[in-house]
Chains A and B, each alone.
Chain A
């Protein structure tokens, strides 16, 4: 089954404790992206990757890191989480903007609470 998986689905942590949210896709997609969803703000892009070893900032990259060492994986790293990073996070993948009308496939989401 074609899917995007994220782990963990739920996480409660404390300020400053480094964490990683994993994302994996089995569709051989070149493009992967991380979004955060906040009430009243919709989805905002954090980082995206056009291919292995190619990453770029989205609209709200501050406080986050990503890496793309393998095509299928795109982990999101919070080196020193803060309460304003409490949010619902989604990973997505697709063939990329170079493919006309490409649609994105989303993971189930990770609800992060930073105390």
Chain B
């Protein structure tokens, strides 16, 4: 069965420092991987995705993510955090098989400290 794990419930980073939000997945076959962000009192917004090709994917608001097939990871990164990056981040996976359901992780709350 496919699954997504976000091992950290919360990540605290000082403003200006690099940030990483971790995500690992388990699927059979090649995955499509996504990151979504949820700001307070808002729905989820798409940040970036990996389908194929370059393992480093760039997305909105200066975020990027690196697909690592051997480690089955898709960590979200940003070189310099902003206070406005504080939000709830969800990793998601869709496997290319008969069951094309998208599975979301439990979310990681990112706090950027001024």
Q: Are B43 and A109 within 8 A (Cβ)?
A: yes
Question: What residues of B have a CB within 8 angstroms of the CB of A4 in the complex?
Answer: 43
Number of interface residues of A (CB under 8 A): 23
Question: What residues of A have a CB within 8 angstroms of the CB of B46 in the complex?
Answer: 103-105
| Interchain CB contact (< 8 A) of A103 among B9, B34, B43 | B34
Q: Are A58 and B101 within 8 A (Cβ)?
A: yes
In the complex, A9→B104 CA distance in Å? 22
| Interchain CB contact (< 8 A) of A97 among B36, B43, B45, B100 | B100
Question: Contacts A97-B94, A103-B49: A43 and B43 contacting too (C-beta < 8 A)?
Answer: no
Question: What residues of A have a CB within 8 angstroms of the CB of B43 in the complex?
Answer: 4, 90, 92, 106-109
B21-47 toward A: CB 8 Å interface, digit per residue (1/0)?
000000000001010100001111110
Question: What residues of B have a CB within 8 angstroms of the CB of A43 in the complex?
Answer: 44, 90, 104, 107
In the complex, A42→B90 CA distance in Å? 8
Interface residues of B (CB under 8 A from A): 9, 32, 34, 36, 41-46, 49, 51, 90, 94, 100-102, 104-107
A-B residue pairs in contact (CB < 8 Å), sample of 9: A35-B104, A42-B104, A42-B107, A90-B43, A97-B102, A100-B32, A104-B44, A104-B46, A104-B102
Interface residues of A (CB under 8 A from B): 4, 35, 40-45, 48, 58, 90, 92, 97-98, 100-101, 103-109
